[in-house]
Structure 1
Amino acid sequence: MDLLELREQIDNIDEQIVRLYEQRMNVCRQVAEYKISTGKKVFDRQREMEKLAKVRALTHNEFNRCGVEELFEQIMSMSRKLQYQLLSESGSLGKLPFIGVDELETGKARVVFQGAEGAYSQAAMVEYFGDAVNSFHVDTFRDAMNAIDEGSADFAVLPIENSTAGIVSEIYDMLQEYENYIVGEQIIRIEHCLLGVPGAALDDIRTVYSHPQSLMQSARYLELHHWQQISMQNNAFAARKVAEEQDRSQAAIASEYAGGIYGLEVLQRKVNHSGTNSTRFIIVTNQKIFRKDAKKVSICFEVPHESGSLYHMLSHFIYNNLNMTKIESRPIEDRNWEYRFFIDFEGNLADSAVKNALRGLRDEARNMKILGNY
């Protein structure tokens, strides 16, 4: 038998597979209609485990057993997606616990940011809320989240990601921990300066203070010198410390704006090595609201610690034609080598495709949480 004949056999088999697949999906449609009428859940893990064991047993070697298991996992996943779509079309998916609003009520809002006067967080806050914003600042990110949680502030402005240094992992962890939600974001350009007390020169410097990420973003410049580097909670704290101690051997890496507030001189501009360095800040509140024109959804979830589990979760975005823009993972406390995944994707909570994907994720993932739509 030559190659052409073998390929013809494969084509014939594939045609049968397609016909059988469509027959199977038609039955799945009827199953969905039954579940809609009876209120049964789409995802039945016990039923799927039994089905996988049964089809594995029909094969004759280990290679085929693994292949058939993967094939039927995909077939059952697509069946679930069809059922979720039908539930959505019938109005049986229910409402998400978020309220759409035309605008955020920011006129009389009280806003908190982390750091001291002159922090980049303050600049992001002013950019988002305007110069007349009623604000106060706190020492730590947790203090800011607590201020929202207890109601002493309506919104918090928090850095979540830098284009050079990556994510602010502490913020990711607290988004999962607190019942606070993202309702907006602000991206600002970062231009670090080396700041010293009046009269200081580069040759005087022995110690540099700044936030760990700012030190990282300025690593190439700092490598040219043999200065001690000391981390601070915030760039503005570093500038304030140098100003208060008036030690010519100390310098801070912070914004020129912070230097002006604390009376420091710019010893060197643009010490961060990336000319396009930017930080993304999120606007957080304790209300479950979203703007009706919001275009990005952020969620987090955990997955079973087994092969293919993350792949199956991500398939909900594929089958609902949703564009995933970011994925990050964070270790789960007290569960070694298990991770929580944070995902951003394009969409609005009012969209049927978004509702469909979130319903599937909620059924199949562990501890899925909507972090916000903005």
Structure 2
Amino acid sequence: YSQIAACKLFDVPDIAFFETFEGVMRAVRDGFCEFGVLPIENSTAGSVNAVYDLLAQFDFHIVRSLRLKIDHNLLVKPGTKLADVREVYSHGQAIAQCAGFIESHDLHATKYPNTAMSAEMVANSERTDVAAIASRSCATLYGLEVLEPNIQDSDNNYTRFVVIGREPRVYPGANRTSLMITTANEPGALYRVLERFYALNINLIKLESRPIPGRDFEFMFYFDLDCPFGSKALDDLLDSIDDVCESFTYFGSYTEVL
């Protein structure tokens, strides 16, 4: 799915593939790739927390995002019947998005680094009781059959992918901004941040909390704001937000492609 997203986000991308999210981050950090494309949020399974944590760890920036419709398929070797399947392999997010199908067919789900590798593993396996949850394009790539199409729990299943880079880049029309904010561990700390958004008439479209590494039961917050880049409201916020928090990180302003 990341490949599909990359092809929609870039006209003629030269794509390199990595097994893990961190592998993508390292490739961008080391200059092997100019940009990385990673899933960051799903409408059914929620946020991909590992990507948020890596953004903070590598101090990277979001330069664009895409909302992609995700249709999961049960892929098997040719001739395999549903009654034969005992175990399914896929990425943890895909497994979560297809939990209803997996449970209703009494299948054992095993997490794998990504959906494409799951399809490859099934294609190369000598077992006849395994299947992969992946995109239809993986069936063509690895010589598998689509045994059951569209097995996700919700037909309204979308994943947001982000383009990440080492340096901030803002393109015309950028109207979404992502921030990470750390507040003091005291009553009213988060309220003061939210009050600042309200005072500047900035619409908050996402709020996510994540534990602060090395600090017990203390949290940092990720915010997505609906506010045009270059507007007075956003400029005033970035100039003054440190008055009401311990620290903040500006991840970037960008446009979301639908």
**Normalising by structure 1, what TM-score?**
0.67
Counterpart of 1:279 (choices 127, 136, 159) is 159
Instruction: Quote the offset at 1:129 in angstroms.
Output: 0.7
Give the AA of the match of 1:226: D
Report the RMSD for the aligned CA atoms in angstroms. Answer: 1.0
Matched, 1:187 2:67: yes
Give secondary structure in 1 for the equivalent of 2:78: coil
Identity of aligned residues (%): 36
Alignment of 1:369 onto 2:257: no
- SS in structure 2 opposite 1:137? coil
Q: Matched residues in 1 for 2:217 and 2:238: separation?
A: 25
The question of whether the paired residues in 1 share the 8 Å contact of 2:189 and 2:244 is answered with: no
Query: Which is bigger in relative contact order (C-alpha 8 A, separation at least 6)?
Result: 2
2-structure distance, mates of 1:185, 1:269: 27
Name the CA distance, whole Å, in 2 between partners of 1:218 and 1:139: 22
- 2:121 is aligned, of 219, 241, 245, to 241
Residue 172 (structure 2) pairs with residue 292 (structure 1): yes
Amino acid at match of 1:235: T
Determine the structure 2 residue equivalent to 1:304: 184
Q: Is the 8 A contact 1:182 1:284 kept in 2?
A: yes
Residue identity in the other structure for 1:121: S
Q: Which residue of 2 aligns with 1:126?
A: 7
Residues 298-328 of structure 1 deviation map (CA, whole Å, 9 limit, x = unaligned): 0001000000000001111111111111100
| Structure 2 residue aligned with 1:320 | 200
Report how far residue 367 of structure 1 moved.
2.3
Cα deviations across residues 84-122 of structure 1 (Å, max 9, x unaligned)?
Answer: xxxxxxxxxxxxxxxxxxxxxxxxxxxxxxxxxxxx000
Name the SS of the counterpart of 2:124 in structure 1.
helix
1:246 to partner: Cα distance = 4.1
Q: Distance in 2 between matches of 1:268 and 1:317?
A: 46
Aligned amino acid, residue 14 of structure 2: N
Asked if the contact 1:197–1:246 (Cα under 8 Å) also holds between the matched residues in 2, the reply is no
What pairs up with 1:86-235 in 2 under 5 angstroms? Answer: 120-130=1-11, 132-235=12-115
SS at match of 1:142: helix
Which whole-Å CA distance do the structure 2 matches of 1:219 and 1:349 have between them?
39
How many residues are matched? 254
- Are the equivalent residues in 1 in contact too, given 2:102–2:108 (CA < 8 A)? no
Q: Is the 8 A contact 2:181 2:220 kept in 1?
A: yes
Q: Which runs of 5+ in 1 are unaligned?
A: 1-119
Give the helix-richer structure, 1 or 2: 1
Q: Which sections of structure 2, spanning at least 5 residues, go unmatched?
A: none
Q: Distance in 2 between matches of 1:315 and 1:360?
A: 12
Question: Which one has a bigger Cα radius of gyration?
Answer: 1
* Aligned-pair CA distance for 1:179: 2.2
1:332 partner amino acid: I
> Normalised by the size of structure 2, how large is the TM-score?
0.96
